[in-house]
Structure 1
Protein backbone atom coordinates (compact mmCIF):
# COMPACT_ATOMS: atom_id res chain seq x y z
CA UNK A 1 0.00 0.00 0.00
CA UNK A 2 1.92 3.03 -1.24
CA UNK A 3 -0.87 5.54 -1.89
CA UNK A 4 -0.75 8.19 0.88
CA UNK A 5 -4.55 8.43 0.94
CA UNK A 6 -4.90 4.69 1.48
CA UNK A 7 -2.18 4.74 4.15
CA UNK A 8 -3.92 7.58 5.98
CA UNK A 9 -7.28 5.81 5.86
CA UNK A 10 -5.84 2.48 7.04
CA UNK A 11 -3.87 4.20 9.80
CA UNK A 12 -6.89 6.17 10.99
CA UNK A 13 -9.14 3.09 10.99
CA UNK A 14 -6.53 1.11 12.93
CA UNK A 15 -6.13 3.96 15.44
CA UNK A 16 -9.92 4.21 15.87
CA UNK A 17 -10.14 0.46 16.48
CA UNK A 18 -7.22 0.58 18.92
CA UNK A 19 -8.82 3.48 20.77
CA UNK A 20 -12.05 1.51 21.04
CA UNK A 21 -10.17 -1.52 22.34
CA UNK A 22 -8.30 0.56 24.93
CA UNK A 23 -11.50 2.27 26.07
CA UNK A 24 -13.28 -1.09 26.44
CA UNK A 25 -10.39 -2.50 28.49
CA UNK A 26 -10.18 0.71 30.53
CA UNK A 27 -13.91 0.54 31.32
CA UNK A 28 -13.45 -3.03 32.54
CA UNK A 29 -10.48 -2.06 34.73
CA UNK A 30 -12.09 1.12 36.10
CA UNK A 31 -15.59 -0.21 36.85
CA UNK A 32 -14.66 -2.26 39.97
CA UNK A 33 -12.95 0.85 41.38
CA UNK A 34 -16.15 2.88 40.98
CA UNK A 35 -14.75 4.86 38.03
CA UNK A 36 -15.36 5.08 34.31
CA UNK A 37 -12.58 5.06 31.73
CA UNK A 38 -12.87 8.81 31.21
CA UNK A 39 -12.89 9.55 34.95
CA UNK A 40 -9.74 7.44 35.24
CA UNK A 41 -8.22 9.26 32.27
CA UNK A 42 -8.77 12.68 33.83
CA UNK A 43 -7.63 11.58 37.31
CA UNK A 44 -4.58 9.94 35.74
CA UNK A 45 -3.55 13.23 34.18
CA UNK A 46 -3.28 14.89 37.61
CA UNK A 47 -1.75 12.10 39.69
CA UNK A 48 1.74 13.63 39.66
CA UNK A 49 0.79 17.31 39.73
CA UNK A 50 -2.37 19.42 39.68
CA UNK A 51 -3.25 20.85 36.27
CA UNK A 52 -5.83 23.27 34.90
CA UNK A 53 -8.60 21.80 32.77
CA UNK A 54 -7.00 23.14 29.57
CA UNK A 55 -3.72 21.42 30.51
CA UNK A 56 -5.48 18.11 31.11
CA UNK A 57 -7.25 18.42 27.76
CA UNK A 58 -3.93 19.05 26.00
CA UNK A 59 -2.18 16.09 27.67
CA UNK A 60 -5.06 13.68 27.12
CA UNK A 61 -6.12 14.79 23.65
CA UNK A 62 -9.62 15.65 24.84
CA UNK A 63 -11.72 18.78 24.46
CA UNK A 64 -11.53 21.38 27.19
CA UNK A 65 -15.32 21.28 27.55
CA UNK A 66 -15.32 17.50 27.93
CA UNK A 67 -12.60 17.64 30.58
CA UNK A 68 -14.46 20.43 32.40
CA UNK A 69 -17.61 18.33 32.57
CA UNK A 70 -15.71 15.30 33.92
CA UNK A 71 -13.64 17.41 36.34
CA UNK A 72 -16.81 18.97 37.79
CA UNK A 73 -18.33 15.50 38.18
CA UNK A 74 -15.20 14.18 39.90
CA UNK A 75 -15.28 17.12 42.31
CA UNK A 76 -18.99 16.55 42.97
CA UNK A 77 -18.28 12.85 43.72
CA UNK A 78 -15.42 13.75 46.09
CA UNK A 79 -12.76 12.14 43.89
CA UNK A 80 -11.02 15.41 42.96
CA UNK A 81 -10.84 18.99 44.15
CA UNK A 82 -10.08 22.39 42.69
CA UNK A 83 -7.17 24.43 44.01
CA UNK A 84 -6.26 28.07 43.40
CA UNK A 85 -3.90 28.52 40.48
CA UNK A 86 -1.16 31.07 41.22
CA UNK A 87 -0.50 31.46 37.48
CA UNK A 88 -4.11 32.17 36.52
CA UNK A 89 -6.85 33.29 38.88
CA UNK A 90 -9.78 31.86 36.88
CA UNK A 91 -8.22 28.57 35.70
CA UNK A 92 -8.24 26.52 38.87
CA UNK A 93 -6.02 23.46 39.25
CA UNK A 94 -7.51 19.97 39.57
CA UNK A 95 -6.02 17.32 41.82
CA UNK A 96 -7.29 13.98 43.13
CA UNK A 97 -8.57 13.73 46.68
CA UNK A 98 -7.45 10.84 48.91
CA UNK A 99 -10.60 8.96 47.79
CA UNK A 100 -9.67 9.60 44.16
CA UNK A 101 -6.16 8.26 44.76
CA UNK A 102 -7.59 5.14 46.45
CA UNK A 103 -9.91 4.53 43.49
CA UNK A 104 -7.04 4.81 41.00
CA UNK A 105 -4.85 2.50 43.11
CA UNK A 106 -7.60 -0.14 43.04
CA UNK A 107 -7.08 -0.33 39.26
CA UNK A 108 -3.34 -1.09 39.55
CA UNK A 109 -3.52 -4.92 39.92
CA UNK A 110 -5.68 -5.34 36.81
CA UNK A 111 -3.54 -2.83 34.95
CA UNK A 112 -0.39 -4.77 35.90
CA UNK A 113 -1.94 -8.08 34.79
CA UNK A 114 -2.95 -6.63 31.42
CA UNK A 115 0.52 -5.14 30.94
CA UNK A 116 2.16 -8.49 31.64
CA UNK A 117 -0.18 -10.29 29.22
CA UNK A 118 0.52 -7.75 26.47
CA UNK A 119 4.27 -7.97 27.13
CA UNK A 120 4.10 -11.75 26.81
CA UNK A 121 2.10 -11.48 23.57
CA UNK A 122 4.21 -8.78 21.89
CA UNK A 123 7.63 -9.01 23.49
CA UNK A 124 9.43 -5.95 24.80
CA UNK A 125 11.19 -5.02 21.55
CA UNK A 126 8.03 -5.16 19.40
CA UNK A 127 5.99 -3.28 22.00
CA UNK A 128 8.66 -0.58 22.31
CA UNK A 129 8.83 -0.23 18.52
CA UNK A 130 5.02 0.11 18.33
CA UNK A 131 5.06 2.78 21.04
CA UNK A 132 7.82 4.69 19.27
CA UNK A 133 5.94 4.50 15.96
CA UNK A 134 2.76 5.82 17.60
CA UNK A 135 4.76 8.65 19.17
CA UNK A 136 6.29 9.59 15.80
CA UNK A 137 2.86 9.50 14.15
CA UNK A 138 1.40 11.77 16.86
CA UNK A 139 4.32 14.20 16.55
CA UNK A 140 3.93 14.26 12.75
CA UNK A 141 0.23 15.08 13.08
CA UNK A 142 1.08 17.87 15.56
CA UNK A 143 3.68 19.24 13.14
CA UNK A 144 1.43 19.36 10.09
CA UNK A 145 -1.54 20.78 12.06
CA UNK A 146 0.58 23.84 12.89
CA UNK A 147 1.22 24.58 9.22
Structure 2
Protein backbone atom coordinates (compact mmCIF):
# COMPACT_ATOMS: atom_id res chain seq x y z
CA UNK A 1 0.00 0.00 0.00
CA UNK A 2 1.15 3.50 -0.83
CA UNK A 3 2.18 5.19 2.42
CA UNK A 4 0.35 8.35 1.34
CA UNK A 5 -2.95 6.41 1.17
CA UNK A 6 -4.93 6.38 4.38
CA UNK A 7 -6.43 3.09 5.58
CA UNK A 8 -10.04 2.69 6.65
CA UNK A 9 -8.85 2.64 10.24
CA UNK A 10 -6.78 5.75 9.59
CA UNK A 11 -9.90 7.46 8.21
CA UNK A 12 -11.86 6.49 11.33
CA UNK A 13 -9.08 7.75 13.61
CA UNK A 14 -8.95 11.01 11.64
CA UNK A 15 -12.66 11.50 12.24
CA UNK A 16 -12.11 10.78 15.95
CA UNK A 17 -9.23 13.28 16.11
CA UNK A 18 -11.33 15.97 14.42
CA UNK A 19 -14.13 15.27 16.92
CA UNK A 20 -11.61 15.48 19.78
CA UNK A 21 -10.51 18.93 18.57
CA UNK A 22 -14.12 20.12 18.59
CA UNK A 23 -14.88 18.50 21.94
CA UNK A 24 -11.71 19.99 23.45
CA UNK A 25 -12.69 23.49 22.34
CA UNK A 26 -16.25 23.06 23.61
CA UNK A 27 -14.99 21.58 26.89
CA UNK A 28 -12.72 24.58 27.48
CA UNK A 29 -15.54 27.03 26.73
CA UNK A 30 -17.92 25.08 28.98
CA UNK A 31 -15.31 24.92 31.75
CA UNK A 32 -14.53 28.63 31.48
CA UNK A 33 -18.21 29.46 31.91
CA UNK A 34 -18.65 26.95 34.73
CA UNK A 35 -15.81 28.30 36.89
CA UNK A 36 -15.83 32.00 35.95
CA UNK A 37 -17.83 32.83 39.09
CA UNK A 38 -14.90 31.54 41.16
CA UNK A 39 -12.33 33.70 39.37
CA UNK A 40 -11.01 30.73 37.41
CA UNK A 41 -10.58 29.69 33.80
CA UNK A 42 -10.41 26.12 32.56
CA UNK A 43 -6.61 26.38 32.50
CA UNK A 44 -6.40 27.64 36.08
CA UNK A 45 -8.89 25.02 37.25
CA UNK A 46 -6.92 22.28 35.49
CA UNK A 47 -3.72 23.32 37.26
CA UNK A 48 -5.43 23.48 40.64
CA UNK A 49 -6.73 19.96 39.96
CA UNK A 50 -3.26 18.72 39.07
CA UNK A 51 -1.99 20.08 42.39
CA UNK A 52 -4.87 18.45 44.30
CA UNK A 53 -4.40 15.05 42.64
CA UNK A 54 -0.60 14.92 42.88
CA UNK A 55 0.80 12.47 45.44
CA UNK A 56 2.89 15.25 46.95
CA UNK A 57 3.78 18.86 46.23
CA UNK A 58 5.49 19.21 42.85
CA UNK A 59 7.49 21.85 41.01
CA UNK A 60 5.96 23.55 37.97
CA UNK A 61 7.92 21.38 35.52
CA UNK A 62 6.39 18.20 36.96
CA UNK A 63 2.88 19.69 36.91
CA UNK A 64 3.40 20.64 33.26
CA UNK A 65 4.64 17.14 32.44
CA UNK A 66 1.66 15.51 34.16
CA UNK A 67 -0.72 17.81 32.26
CA UNK A 68 1.08 17.34 28.95
CA UNK A 69 1.43 21.12 28.84
CA UNK A 70 4.15 23.63 28.09
CA UNK A 71 6.18 24.44 31.23
CA UNK A 72 6.30 28.17 30.47
CA UNK A 73 2.51 28.36 30.14
CA UNK A 74 2.01 26.46 33.39
CA UNK A 75 4.56 28.73 35.12
CA UNK A 76 2.67 31.83 33.95
CA UNK A 77 -0.64 30.47 35.25
CA UNK A 78 0.90 29.32 38.54
CA UNK A 79 2.38 32.81 38.98
CA UNK A 80 -1.10 34.30 38.42
CA UNK A 81 -2.62 31.85 40.92
CA UNK A 82 0.11 32.78 43.40
CA UNK A 83 -0.63 36.47 42.89
CA UNK A 84 -4.26 35.80 43.77
CA UNK A 85 -3.36 33.80 46.87
CA UNK A 86 -4.60 30.46 45.53
CA UNK A 87 -1.21 28.73 45.60
CA UNK A 88 1.99 29.18 47.54
CA UNK A 89 5.58 28.14 46.95
CA UNK A 90 7.51 25.96 49.36
CA UNK A 91 11.20 25.11 49.36
CA UNK A 92 12.09 21.98 47.41
CA UNK A 93 14.58 19.85 49.36
CA UNK A 94 15.80 18.30 46.09
CA UNK A 95 16.26 21.44 44.02
CA UNK A 96 16.96 24.97 45.25
CA UNK A 97 15.42 26.83 42.30
CA UNK A 98 12.44 24.60 41.49
CA UNK A 99 10.07 25.45 44.33
CA UNK A 100 7.13 23.22 45.14
CA UNK A 101 3.62 24.47 44.37
CA UNK A 102 0.94 23.94 47.04
CA UNK A 103 -2.66 25.06 47.44
CA UNK A 104 -3.45 27.68 50.03
CA UNK A 105 -6.65 27.47 52.07
CA UNK A 106 -8.18 29.97 49.66
CA UNK A 107 -7.06 27.80 46.73
CA UNK A 108 -8.63 24.70 48.29
CA UNK A 109 -11.91 26.54 48.94
CA UNK A 110 -11.96 27.84 45.36
CA UNK A 111 -11.21 24.41 43.92
CA UNK A 112 -13.85 22.76 46.12
CA UNK A 113 -16.44 25.34 45.03
CA UNK A 114 -15.62 24.65 41.37
CA UNK A 115 -15.99 20.90 41.92
CA UNK A 116 -19.31 21.43 43.71
CA UNK A 117 -20.55 23.27 40.60
CA UNK A 118 -19.05 20.66 38.28
CA UNK A 119 -20.38 17.46 39.87
CA UNK A 120 -24.10 17.90 39.10
CA UNK A 121 -23.28 19.07 35.57
CA UNK A 122 -21.01 16.15 34.78
CA UNK A 123 -23.52 13.72 36.27
CA UNK A 124 -26.21 15.16 34.00
CA UNK A 125 -23.96 14.76 30.94
CA UNK A 126 -23.11 11.18 31.92
CA UNK A 127 -26.79 10.25 32.26
CA UNK A 128 -27.13 9.29 28.58
CA UNK A 129 -24.00 7.14 28.53
CA UNK A 130 -23.29 3.70 29.94
CA UNK A 131 -20.33 3.10 32.20
CA UNK A 132 -18.96 0.66 29.59
CA UNK A 133 -19.13 3.33 26.86
CA UNK A 134 -17.27 5.82 29.02
CA UNK A 135 -14.64 3.24 29.98
CA UNK A 136 -14.13 2.24 26.33
CA UNK A 137 -13.75 5.88 25.28
CA UNK A 138 -11.23 6.36 28.09
CA UNK A 139 -9.20 3.34 26.95
CA UNK A 140 -9.15 4.63 23.37
CA UNK A 141 -8.10 8.12 24.50
CA UNK A 142 -5.38 6.68 26.76
CA UNK A 143 -4.01 4.50 23.96
CA UNK A 144 -4.02 7.44 21.57
CA UNK A 145 -2.29 9.62 24.17
CA UNK A 146 0.46 7.00 24.60
CA UNK A 147 0.91 6.76 20.81
CA UNK A 148 1.18 10.53 20.51
CA UNK A 149 3.65 10.72 23.41
CA UNK A 150 5.74 8.07 21.68
CA UNK A 151 5.70 10.05 18.42
CA UNK A 152 6.74 13.23 20.19
CA UNK A 153 9.47 11.47 22.19
CA UNK A 154 10.83 9.87 19.00
CA UNK A 155 11.00 13.28 17.30
CA UNK A 156 12.94 14.71 20.24
CA UNK A 157 15.64 12.06 19.73
CA UNK A 158 15.95 12.45 15.95
Residue in 1 that maps onto 2:37: 32
Q: Deviation digits for residues 5-52 of structure 1, max 9, x if unmatched? A: x44543332221111121112112211222111111111111143211
Unpaired stretches in structure 2, ≥5 consecutive residues:
1-6
Unpaired stretches in structure 1, ≥5 consecutive residues:
none
Task: Provide TM-score, normalisation by structure 2.
Answer: 0.84
Secondary structure at 2:127 match in 1 = helix
| Count of aligned pairs between the two proteins | 146
Secondary structure at 1:121 match in 2 = coil
Question: Would you say 1:102 and 2:109 are equivalent positions?
Answer: yes
Query: Structure 2: how far apart are the matches of 1:79 and 1:143?
Result: 34
Residue in 2 that maps onto 1:19: 24
Q: Structure 1 pair 51/118, CA: closer, same or farther in 2 (3 Å)? A: same
Query: Structure 2: how far apart are the matches of 1:8 and 1:54?
Result: 31
Q: Deviation digits for residues 30-81 of structure 1, max 9, x if unmatched? A: 1122211111111111114321111111111210000010011111110101
CA RMSD, Structure 1 to Structure 2 (Å): 1.6
State the 1:87 CA deviation.
1.3
Computing the radius of gyration from Cα coordinates, the structure with the larger value is 2
**Higher relative contact order at CA 8 Å, sep ≥6: structure 1 or structure 2?**
1
Task: Provide TM-score, normalisation by structure 1.
Answer: 0.90
Query: Structure 1: how far apart are the matches of 2:76 and 2:153?
Result: 27
